[in-house]
Amino acid sequence: MRLKLLTTGAFVLGIVLILMWPWVIRQRPLAMDGIGPPRRMVAAFQVMLAGYMGASTFSFMTAGCLAMLVMRNAREEYARQALENVRELVEGSMEDLRSRNKARPDQ
């Protein structure tokens, strides 16, 4: 259950980060009076933008990896349940055959 919550949380965080795109772009330094913005401001914006893109990418990659773990756990659980179902079927069939043989003493 925790794995599913973490997967959902990582995906929702990625969606929220993607929806924040206009806010991030609005912080871009603008040119004033025909002179470009100071390099220091441009460099700070580039670092912030790289961090934003990295966080978005990391969030979606984490959600994907966690989703693969959820699928693997589900597949293993289904395999265990199928084996248990077959085992119960065989045991039930054997018990049914034994009860039939006890009911017919002529054999």
pLDDT tens, 6-48? Answer: 999 999 999 999 999 999 888 888 887 778 888 899 999 999 9
Alpha-carbon separation of residue 93 from 78, 83, 100, 103 (angstroms) = 22, 15, 11, 15
Question: Per residue in 75-101, pLDDT tens?
Answer: 999 999 999 999 999 999 999 888 888
Alpha-carbon separation of residue 92 from 53, 87, 104 (angstroms) = 58, 8, 19
Phi, psi of 106 (to 5 degrees): -75, -10
pLDDT at 97: 87
pLDDT at 35: 85
Spatial CB neighbours of 66, under 8 Å, sequence gap ≥ 6: 3, 6, 7, 10
Give me the residue label for tokens 């004033």: 32
pLDDT at 19: 96
pLDDT at 73: 96
